[in-house]
Amino acid sequence: MKRIYTILIAMILLALELPAQSSSHQYVTVVAEPDHDDWIYRTGETAHFTAFAIKENVRMKNTVITYSYGPDKMDAVATKTVKTDNNGIAHFDVPGAQQPGFISVRVKVNIDGHDYSSMTNIAFDPYSIKPTTTMPADFEQFWSNAIDKAAQVPMLTTVTRNEKESNDKVDVFYVKIQSYKAGNYVYGVLTVPKIPGRKPAILRLPGAAVRPFNGPNELAYEGFVVLEIGVHGIPVDQDKEIYRQLENGALAGYTTIGIDNRDTYYYKRSILGCVRAVDYLCTRDDVDTTRIATYGGSQGGMLSIMTAALSPHVSALFSYFPAFCDLTGYYYGRGAGWPHLFRDPNEPNLQARMEVSKYYDTVNFARLLKVPGFYAWGFNDPACCPTSTFSAYNVITAPKQLQVGRDTGHWLYPWQVENALKWLKARFHMTD
């Protein structure tokens, strides 16, 4: 049980991309409580809220609360105030959305010159949200041709055992795999359990950042061969200062590099590198090629869906709050997924860039999925907003399961991660 708990904490920190540290507690907590326990309403239905502010575990009486509401990730359409009564309670209503989507309700109090606030995103028929993006007629052909061309590149591989990170339970290796074109490589960390026979494998995909990776990956202690890769085509075992300089220099704003052309866009190499990483796992004698999963959150969640859609060797996936969902949303007046492209209607070459984005939108890869998937996110995610993630989830026709932690932002609860791991182990017929 202790090992499971360690895995959960490690994976949550990876999802957050935060160091392990204690969080501070707000002096005043302000809450907007919806009258539907599941935060879900019918389109057009008015939502009734109870608001209160708590200081030192006591509701604050006769306190002014400012509330505002508007579509998910968009500007507020109304801002008003309400005052708590002698019991510390106030009430207000929010008009229902006229089409499926989310409304962000924000509440704020000012105490002694300091603002304290919170957000509650309520849903209106979320399982009926449709994407704004469309699939190009040659979408599948484009990626099929790209994969076929990349497959002609020899898989030159270097595998180096890391003595320091290996132990009596697992072996850790740093890998370098030629991909996409000659001289281009995928770099990663491979963790292999020291148990006999062929084992299920996980391709662990990274969230957005330019950073190093090390081992061992905790999932290997559960019996998985785990390959965790970077997506920038650079070694993953260098000093942190190198990555800091790249993130602030050559790779600053990498999500828009080459976006004017579908063949030069930054993520083409990254996506094909993920497919090549799966191909590499299939060459290993210790991997059961019928049991390979992709796994990741945010940018990693996006790549988990994309890789599972493109590689015939992936048989399951776990994607939490995937990025790059419905990238054209802002252009059509609603929230879109990270990295929040096309917010400026005067952006140069806007129409052409949006056309390019359709070849890289998670929604269009989700349409192609044929393998079962486990998905997780929350209603309050400001980075990969629920309007965008539901637009991808709703087009999936493959077997799917979604677990929502309504009040979560760009993070998961331990039970969401634990249930995903149980689901994956059950899919792969693994016993504890």
Tens digit of each residue's pLDDT (9 = 90 or more) over 195-210: 999 999 999 999 999 9
Would you give the DSSP letter of residue 323? S
The contacts of residue 249 (CB under 8 Å, 6+ apart) are none
Residue 432: per-residue pLDDT? 59
pLDDT band at residue 23 under the 50/70/90 scheme: very low
- Contact criterion met (CB below 8 Å) for 253 and 282: no
Residue 20: per-residue pLDDT? 36
Compare 359 and 180 and report the one with higher pLDDT.
359
What domains does the chain contain, in order, with CATH numbers? 28-128 (2.60.40.10), 132-427 (3.40.50.1820)
Q: What is the dihedral of CA 149, 151, 153, 158, to 10 degrees?
A: 150
Mean pLDDT of 58-85: 97
CB atoms within 10 A of CB 50: 13
104's enclosing H/E stretch is strand 101-111
What pTM did the predictor assign? Answer: 0.94
pLDDT band at residue 3 under the 50/70/90 scheme: low
Residue 175: per-residue pLDDT? 98
CA distances from 41 to 126, 379, 388, 393, 401 (A): 9, 13, 18, 19, 21
d(CA 4, CA 337): 31
The CA radius of gyration of the chain, in Å to the nearest whole number, is 23
Whether the predicted pLDDT of 419 surpasses 90:
yes
Mean pLDDT of 310-328: 98
How many helices and strands in the chain, by DSSP H and E? 9, 18
pLDDT tens per residue, range 264-315: 999 999 999 999 999 999 999 999 999 999 999 999 999 999 999 999 999 9
CB atoms within 10 A of CB 136: 16
d(CA 197, CA 75): 56
Mean pLDDT of 380-385: 97
Q: Which of 301, 316, 304, 320 is nearest to 415 (CA)?
A: 320
Whether the predicted pLDDT of 15 surpasses 60:
no
Instruction: Supply the mean pLDDT for the chain.
Output: 94
Residue 62: per-residue pLDDT? 97
Whether the predicted pLDDT of 18 surpasses 80:
no
Whether the predicted pLDDT of 171 surpasses 90:
yes
pLDDT tens per residue, range 47-59: 999 999 999 999 9
122's enclosing H/E stretch is strand 114-124
Residue 17: per-residue pLDDT? 43
Residue 26: per-residue pLDDT? 83
Q: Which of 88, 82, 29 is nearest to 61 (CA)?
A: 88
Residues in the chain: 432
Torsion angles phi and psi, residue 187, rounded to 5:
-115, 145
d(CA 306, CA 189): 21
